[in-house]
Structure 1
């Protein structure tokens, strides 16, 4: 791929610096799914509050850990060589349904204001499975600014194993898979599953990457996804090389090297991690924002210079704990495509950080409008029960706004139902997200499942018009 040079104004922000030591790579961290709560996001959270003290900003510092190239080469060679994204797309075997073919409960999960201009529902098995939860989205619009990966338009959707469902096998806990969606024909989307794994034993084996995957960004040739902190060297993010997709040739329940070849628990394709980022200060905590933050979601900002990865933490929407949103710059070095900007010791510092009183945040996006000096931050609240709409706030250091709907514009609950991460497709001007739930009528992960899962896009300009 060829990446085009871009020169843009730096967002008004505060550069934050410090140096701490990091720890080694560990790619098999166990995950616990972050859940939402019952409270409504009706109160206006007000403006963002800048965080500038070193005591606060050092909590956001990362250390980069990369797998040895020889390890990746050994695994790639042993599994018959690398495949491309196009190979996965050409083998797509799950059709997506267009909006007109979605069930009534799926269509009802779409936003009230502004309305979705594109919407798709999953095939019947994935629409109702309670074993897996859709959590995140990124696109080839993140990967390259022409909106394509090679000649393909692609959407990636990250799904996490539902560890809260009773009776799930221990071997499945924390598994993460990605739907590679062929979006070349907007009327005929289809997808194929790829399991996230990590090389072991110098590349002679691989194991499962157990990640919350609440957010992900496909930038240049790397895919960065959120991890669940708190174990195995406190990984915050995992990194994957999109040029190293591999094929499993044995269909079994195993993961890794098995008799006769390689198995990925029934999946044909795997994507092995090539690195991670851990919080330098140790484990995160989702208890309060005085601790190191657990990464709930991430997205790409192409309007900063250089391009940047933005993140948010999550606290229960039933409480009042302010959450943090922050950003890291991507590296501009030609030999470090898709990696974050680090110093010679592998340290990555946050470039900007804020506190928000918006609650229950499941997604974040930063975007600087043309001619503006300051970025708008879009923070998405999702209620923790079925059949309820969320709120998409637009915040800066001056105010917070959201679309209003209902009788006489009396409610901020206008966004999609239980939406997850956010992604902006710059080439098309579309804001993408997806909804999560397929619980029963009692909000339990037991049959019968009520499908409420939809992948949809709204023009960002429509969002801005709605909150004027």
Structure 2
């Protein structure tokens, strides 16, 4: 079932109710923080009339490098690693022997609320739940967290293999080149699975899983890193849907990873460097008869890509944010479980008046109870099409989700950050502080009062190593 259409009477009534409620909330609490984003001037969301058969439609592509299909490459890679026939790797195994521990809340990571922390003064975020990554990941100048999802997106009950966990997508910067853009170019990506439940004194187990690009090369199957920005992440059924606006390998679109493809490289007799201290200086993939993983125990290979349908699939399509003559840029991703069936949202990062505020689109998904393939996007004649496309209310959008018709957006540029709440047709947009460097959004329904979670990207410093790069939740 597609997302419900907005009828005029319902939209006007809802907009009036929201406008009044937001006005009361802003005036009734003088201490309610406002967004630290003075250059962002919110505007009403408007529905866009677009040709969904061209700009916004997506087609499935599973042909990998070397002109071999990704499913075939994955099966062959599993055989070459001597992992064929082994049962799938459950999430519980990923977290049973974690190589990282994260600290949470005031007892475990008070630095997050201190001056200079992502949630502290002079623009404090109203939250009592946050998780700080360990010092290595918190201070890394190479890896940057972006997308956020979790098991409450994956299944309605919120538990996968008996575990409730977050999933955080990261990209690795090149840090080489003559320009800032070249130095920020993505050369790899990974996902951190973080146990929701603390063990011991506010400590959360987590494991970093490398995203792999299977390829056929010189008559053999190997793998590279996936050079995606991983700006948005949704975990639905067994699939990780990764939004990306990169044109490396023509990746602009939605990348799909299947958790059933997860490889435990420690179980292989063909991997040379799992947990080896000098792994950073080793190659990646197949070299001289051995596989190398740069120390990662788990590898999740790419299964396919939902690409813009304009032009041939073999030609990378340029995206241009806000321009109705070009395919949209897939910057972030969010899931709406208030629709039946759930729906997938994706929107754009837009920085200038030339692209306005950018666009957000909603795609229908297959139901929870239905078996599905290719990331569970609902298709017609093999094409996935959105049911709604709106202009975003603000620039610099890093994340967006919706629930029962109300949209939440996060924005970040430089040191300014904000969270903005509105509905299509409403004339008022509520503004709130957000963590410095805020990124993607994820609805976690695991408590009596659902929480909206995000992650901040800026690395720690020598003076403040912890508390700047955090996963945190607010009660919207």
Q: Give TM-score scaled by structure 2 length.
A: 0.76
Bigger Cα Rg: 2
326-335 vs 419-428, greater mean Cα deviation: 326-335
How far did 1:164 drift? 4.7
CA deviations on 1:324-357 (whole Å, 9 max, x unpaired) are 011111134524374211223x211111100124
Give yes or no for the alignment of 1:362 onto 2:398.
yes
For the aligned residue pairs, the C-alpha RMSD in angstroms reads 3.0
Among 114, 139, 163, the alignment partner of 1:128 is 139
**CA shift digits 1:181-207 (9 cap, x unpaired):** 122337331211111012222983222
How far has the Cα of 1:156 moved from its partner?
0.9
Pick one of 51, 58, 64 that aligns with 1:62: 58
Determine the C-alpha separation between the residues in 1 that align with 2:112 and 2:151: 29
Counterparts in 2 of 1:438 and 1:427: CA distance versus 1, 3 Å: closer
Could you tell me which residue of structure 2 aligns to residue 301 of structure 1?
Answer: 336
* TM-score (normalizing by structure 1): 0.78
Task: Please give the secondary structure, in 1, of the residue aligned with 2:299.
Answer: strand
Rounded Cα–Cα distance in structure 1 between residues aligned with 2:303 and 2:238: 12
Question: What's the offset of the Cα at 1:41?
Answer: 4.5
For residues 327 and 439 of structure 2, what CA distance do their matches in structure 1 show?
22
| Separation in structure 2 between the aligned mates of residue 320 and residue 62 of structure 1, nearest angstrom | 22
Gap change, CA 1:392 and 1:287, over 3 Å in 2: closer
Q: Deviations over 1:272-299 (max 9, x none)?
A: 1111111112523346433322111001
* Residue from 427, 430, 436 that aligns with 2:451: 430
Q: Which runs of 5+ in 1 are unaligned?
A: 1-7, 15-38, 369-374, 404-411, 441-446, 464-468
Corresponding residue for residue 71 of structure 1: 73
Name the structure 1 match of 2:19. none
The residue aligned with 1:179 is 192
Residue in 1 aligned with 2:319? 285
Structure 2: stretches of 5+ with no match in the other structure: 8-35, 63-68, 266-270, 274-278, 312-316
- Tell me the secondary structure at the aligned position of residue 58 of structure 1: coil
Number of equivalent positions: 403
SS of 1:204 mapped into structure 2 = strand
**Post-superposition CA distance 1:75-96 (Å, at most 9, x none):** 2233224422221111212111
Alignment partners' CA distance in 1, 2:453 and 2:227:
25
Quote how far apart the aligned CAs of 1:449 are: 7.4
Structure 1 equivalent of residue 429 of structure 2: 401
Structure 2 partner of 1:47: 44
- Residue in structure 1 matched with residue 111 of structure 2 by the alignment: 104
* 2:399 is equivalent to residue 382 of structure 1: no
Among 205, 214, 219, the residue aligned to 1:190: 205
- Between the aligned partners of 1:320 and 1:337, the Cα distance in structure 2 is 31
Q: 2: CA distance between counterparts of 1:285 and 1:421?
A: 20
TM superposition shift of 1:44: 4.3
Deviation at 1:152, TM superposition (A): 0.4
User: Which of residues 385, 388, 401 in structure 2 aligns to 1:352?
Assistant: 388
Give 1:254's aligned residue. 283
Distance 1:321 1:347 in 2: 28
Where do residues 16-27 of structure 1 align in structure 2 (5 Å cutoff)?
none
